[in-house]
Amino acid sequence: MVKKLIKRGYALLVYLFLYLPIFLLILYSFNDSKYRGSWSGFTLRWYKELFKDRTIVAALYNTFAIAILSALIATIIGTISAIAIHKMSPRWKMTFMNVTYLPVMNPDIVIGISLLALFVALKMHLGFFTILLGHITFNTPYVILAVLPKLKHLNPYLEEAALDLGATPMQAFFKVVLPEIMPGVVTGGLLAFTLSLDDFMVSFFTTGSGVNTLSIKVYSMTKLGVSPKINALSTLLFIGVLSLFVLLQSREKNIKE
């Protein structure tokens, strides 16, 4: 009994540690006082100011545009490559897998500075496009790693049967193979999307003047002193993430049932 209580208390403490900072930011986002010292009444002022701030809105737009585009492109390239890698001879497979693990294992900061060096060497204009290229680069391996196990469990005769029955390779892929590996593709795509949303390092080093993502914007805002607008932003993001999470969970439950 005592043991159980200790376990409960311990778990509670760890969860408190995880969530306390987030809840405090949410609380402060409704605080009227500019100096976070004391509570001086409920307000929605910071939310209004947040949406009046053009640079923040632009950063939000960039973040989501890059996340959606990079996840989409990475999912397409990753799925196609996973199919190709799956059919390779063991030696080629090894080579490709090592290359795939490279961005996964490399520290983000090294990916960031090495891409910066590449883009500068190619005399490319740093900005939205270079960030997008960077994000596709570190996203694609995660899609491959999510799709490969599904291909391994796929019955190879299914595709052959479709081809024997007169389907073109394209039809066989879209009507037989793709539906079977879809869970892996979706997982990979979602993973890519969230990784891109959360990224700071690669965006920070591959961006040019004036192009911000949310992470870069928050970073520069902390340099200028903390603003309650960031609290409002965190609250909105947390609610967004929470609802996305609940949505995905209920979807998963439905599938299982």
HSE-up (13 A, CA, CB side) for residue 253: 6
Among positions 26-55, residues that touch another protein (CB under 8 A) are 28, 35-38
Q: Does 21 help bind another protein (rule: CB under 8 A)? A: yes
Examine residue 218 and tell whether it contacts another protein (CB under 8 A).
Answer: yes
Q: Which is nearer to another protein, 4 or 54 (CB)?
A: 4
Distances (CA, A) of 28 to 31, 86, 137, 189: 5, 51, 37, 34
Each residue 225-254 as x (binds another protein by CB under 8 A) or -, in order, gives: -x---xx-xx--xx--xx-xx---x-----
d(CA 6, CA 165) in angstroms, rounded, equals 63
Write out the binding residues for another protein, residues 117-146 only, by CB under 8 A: 117-118, 121, 133-134, 136-137, 140, 144-146
Residue 87 lies near another protein (rule: CB under 8 A) = yes
205 in contact with another protein (CB under 8 A) = yes
Q: Which stretch binds another protein (CB under 8 A): 15-23, 43-51, 52-60, 64-72?
A: 15-23
- Nearer to another protein by Cβ, of 102 and 182: the residue is 102
How many residues lie near another protein (CB under 8 A)? 81
Provide the β-strand partners of residue 31.
42
Work out which of 49, 183, 200, 208 binds another protein, going by CB under 8 A. Answer: 200
Rg (CA), the chain: 23
Q: Is residue 194 a contact point for another protein (CB under 8 A)?
A: yes
Judge contact between 247 and 255, C-beta under 8 A: no
Nearer to another protein, 10 or 61 (CB): 10
Question: Token pair for residue 189?
Answer: 């795509």
DSSP states of 55-111 as a string?
Answer: HHHHHHHHHHHHHHHHHHHHHHHHHHHHHHHHTS-HHHHHHHHHHHHHHHHS-HHHH
- Answer for which of 222, 243, 250, 251 binds another protein (CB under 8 A) is 222
